[in-house]
């Protein structure tokens, strides 16, 4: 094999020459200029990164600093808790989280309108939930511990207070149970092609309705889950769970009121 050497022609021509006297052109000198610029840029990037590291500036996990907020239908994280606000249709539904597990709502519904708002936990499940505050409601709606499970898809309520129950679907009574926190009646119902955490679905609702209304106290969810299970009401895998205020229109019955609730 003949020896090969690389020679730079200052007239902007790069060529290879061989001992046999042959020449093969490689390209113009601008190729070297472009390569030189790219190499310089890469060296600059390395230098900047080294400077940042030496200054102790570490990358941050952006996801942990995002305030998960959207307008309208939302589930978001704030100050270590979960706050959910969902509304549809006509009416004025003003709900805000105040921090520290506290939220406020003021509402005045119109035909076809309704909302659910509250703060709580994700995932839900067996918890001892303490709450306090004020609840002044007129028309259909509830103050309730509210949540969802999946597989199966279940929407559930532990209702603590209300003005008018006025359920949108027929309820089937499954019994009642009494323990140290009070007496509750148990019901189921079914919603067909309605909004859910999985989109528009058909799903079952579970209800515990307190016979003596209250605004403030302790809810031991495992007691309700056990009572439901004994009544053949089986939950799935827990999604979120909130102490909610809900108001909705039902025919000529329209909701209005205000609430201030703190959850611990």
- Catalytic residue, candidates 169, 185, 198, 246: 246
d(CA 166, CA 156): 16
- Catalytic residue, candidates 155, 180, 185, 198: 155
Residue 212 among the catalytic residues: no
d(CA 113, CA 254): 9
Residue 169 among the catalytic residues: no
What's the Rg (C-alpha) of the chain? 33
Question: Which residues have a Cβ under 8 Å from the Cβ of 128 and sit 6 or more positions away?
Answer: 218, 219, 220, 221
- For residue 20, count CB atoms less than 10 angstroms from its CB and return exposed for 0-12, middle for 13-18, buried for 19 or more: exposed
d(CA 164, CA 256): 11
d(CA 98, CA 104): 7
Catalytic residues, by residue number, are 155, 246
């Amino acid at each position: 094999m003949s020896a090969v050497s690389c020679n730079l022609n200052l007239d902007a021509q790069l060529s290879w020459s061989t001992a046999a006297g042959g020449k093969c052109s490689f390209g113009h000198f601008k190729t070297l200029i472009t390569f030189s610029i790219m190499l310089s840029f890469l060296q600059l990037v390395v230098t900047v990164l080294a400077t940042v590291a030496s200054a102790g500036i570490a990358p941050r996990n952006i996801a942990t600093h995002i305030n998960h907020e959207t307008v309208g239908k939302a589930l978001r994280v704030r100050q270590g808790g979960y706050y959910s606000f969902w509304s549809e249709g006509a009416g004025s539904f003003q709900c805000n989280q105040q921090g520290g597990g506290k939220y406020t709502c003021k509402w005045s519904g119109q035909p076809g309108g309704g909302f659910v708002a509250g703060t709580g936990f994700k995932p839900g499940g067996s918890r001892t939930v303490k709450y306090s505050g004020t609840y002044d409601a007129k028309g259909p709606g509830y103050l309730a511990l509210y949540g969802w499970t999946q597989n199966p898809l279940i929407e559930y309520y532990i209702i603590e207070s209300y003005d008018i129950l006025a359920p949108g679907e027929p309820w089937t009574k499954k019994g009642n149970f009494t323990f140290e926190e009070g007496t509750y009646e148990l019901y189921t119902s079914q919603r067909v092609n309605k909004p859910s955490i999985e989109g528009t679905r058909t799903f079952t609702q579970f209800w515990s309705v307190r016979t003596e209304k209250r605004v403030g106290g302790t809810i031991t969810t495992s007691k309700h889950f056990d009572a439901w299970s004994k009544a053949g009401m089986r939950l799935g895998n827990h999604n979120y769970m909130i102490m909610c205020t809900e108001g909705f229109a039902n025919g000529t019955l329209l909701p209005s009121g205000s609430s201030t609730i703190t959850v611990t």
